[in-house]
């Protein structure tokens, strides 16, 4: 019975995720309320980037940190990503050691955490895991990635809490949360609900106490009493407006569905189910050496000139940024066969079918 419920729940979650996760991309503030001062500073940062020479992680970090905080467009976010990745890589490979010969925690882990501000929800948990791999002081942020020790029954109950709260079924949610192990598990993984910050469990528990709707009891409408002159009239509930349950942003909904998928599928090591949900391998190793590739940044090109990241050879070539970009585009290979679709195909041109 538990296995059948699990499969049904996974199928429901994945059908919604197929529509939602694809839209959980790098976020950028709306430009409608951006001040002139912010736009001016962004332009200044881009000019300052022209002086970066690939030698000092701190300079990349400082500019990347500021742009990550005030970015306006997706292009700004990508530039912030690139600078923070360069800062991460320069600091990681610098080999700074303390008196005891141990690697000194530097900017690398901090750059990883800042990258979560300009990265998709899918990548944020992995970035925190990489930060923890570089600096153990960040291990607390990466909690929740490990689902070991959670039984299938407990995982199903936690997932049911999330679904009940979304549907406004506060009675079911409260009954489940009354079990200490359910509340403790929800709290353990609450950072997956918020993208890294605390408070995810408290929001779920608070919502469970508010539902069902006190006015319509989740019926979504109210029927006025029948009178001698008129039949009973149904109207949408004025309290819940016909939509009982916790109101979620798209970001919150995706995070909840991802956590449910992890609980219901990840524990059973269902690789294909999580790949469908995450759009990537669910078991990405938090290897610091894989960060640049995962973020799509070529760390062999640390020089930002003429709007393009380039290496020393490209810088000294005398070509413009546009010319360098054009040279990087893959050349189209001519087709060896040019079919003539203007003439009908003769039977003799149909290849033999295998017997």
- The whole-model pTM stands at 0.51
The number of beta carbons lying within 10 Å of the beta carbon of residue 269 is: 11
Instruction: Supply φ then ψ for residue 243, to 5 degrees.
Output: -130, 75
Token pair recorded at residue 116: 């979560």
| Boundaries of every domain in the chain | 2-142, 152-270
Residue found under tokens 């998709």: 120
CA distance 112 to 104: 16
The total number of residues written for the chain in this structure = 355
Instruction: Spell out the per-residue pLDDT of the chain, length 355, in tens.
Output: 444 544 545 445 444 444 444 344 454 444 446 788 889 999 999 999 999 999 889 999 999 999 998 988 989 999 999 999 999 999 988 766 545 555 555 788 889 888 988 887 668 778 888 888 888 776 655 554 556 567 888 888 998 999 899 888 899 999 999 999 999 988 888 877 876 666 788 889 998 998 888 888 878 878 776 656 655 677 888 888 888 888 888 778 877 887 887 777 644 443 343 443 444 444 466 788 889 998 899 999 999 999 999 999 999 998 898 888 888 887 666 655 555 555 554 544 444 544 4
């Amino acid at each position: 019975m538990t296995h059948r419920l699990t499969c049904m729940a996974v199928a429901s979650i994945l059908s919604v995720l197929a529509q939602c996760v694809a839209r959980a991309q790098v976020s950028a503030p709306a430009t409608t309320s951006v001040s002139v001062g912010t736009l001016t500073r962004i332009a200044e940062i881009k000019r300052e980037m022209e002086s970066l020479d690939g030698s000092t992680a701190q300079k990349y970090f400082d500019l990347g940190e500021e742009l990550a905080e005030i970015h306006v467009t997706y292009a700004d976010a990508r530039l912030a990503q690139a600078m923070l990745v360069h800062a991460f890589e320069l600091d990681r490979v610098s080999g700074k050691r303390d008196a005891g010969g141990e690697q000194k925690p530097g900017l690398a882990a901090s750059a990883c955490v800042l990258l979560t501000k300009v990265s998709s929800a899918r990548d944020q948990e992995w970035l925190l895991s990489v930060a923890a791999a570089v600096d153990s002081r960040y291990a607390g942020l990466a909690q929740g990635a490990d689902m070991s020790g959670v039984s299938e029954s407990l995982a199903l109950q936690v997932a049911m809490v999330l679904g009940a709260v979304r549907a406004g079924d506060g009675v079911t949610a409260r009954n489940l949360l009354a079990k200490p192990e359910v509340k403790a598990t929800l709290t353990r993984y609450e950072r997956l609900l918020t993208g890294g910050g605390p408070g995810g469990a408290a929001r779920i528990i608070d919502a469970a106490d508010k539902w069902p709707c006190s006015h319509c009891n989740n019926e979504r409408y109210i029927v006025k009493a029948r009178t001698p002159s008129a039949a009973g009239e149904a109207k949408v509930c004025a309290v819940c407006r016909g939509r009982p349950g916790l109101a979620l942003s798209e970001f919150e909904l995706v995070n909840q569905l991802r956590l449910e998928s992890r609980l219901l599928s990840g524990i059973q090591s269902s690789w294909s189910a999580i790949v469908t949900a995450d759009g990537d391998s669910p078991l990405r190793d938090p290897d610091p050496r894989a960060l640049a590739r995962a973020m799509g940044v070529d760390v062999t090109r640390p020089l930002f000139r003429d709007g393009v990241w380039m290496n020393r050879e490209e810088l000294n070539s005398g070509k413009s940024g546009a010319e360098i970009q054009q040279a990087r585009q893959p050349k189209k290979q001519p087709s060896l066969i040019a079919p003539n679709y203007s003439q009908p195909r003769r039977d003799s041109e149909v290849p033999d079918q295998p017997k």
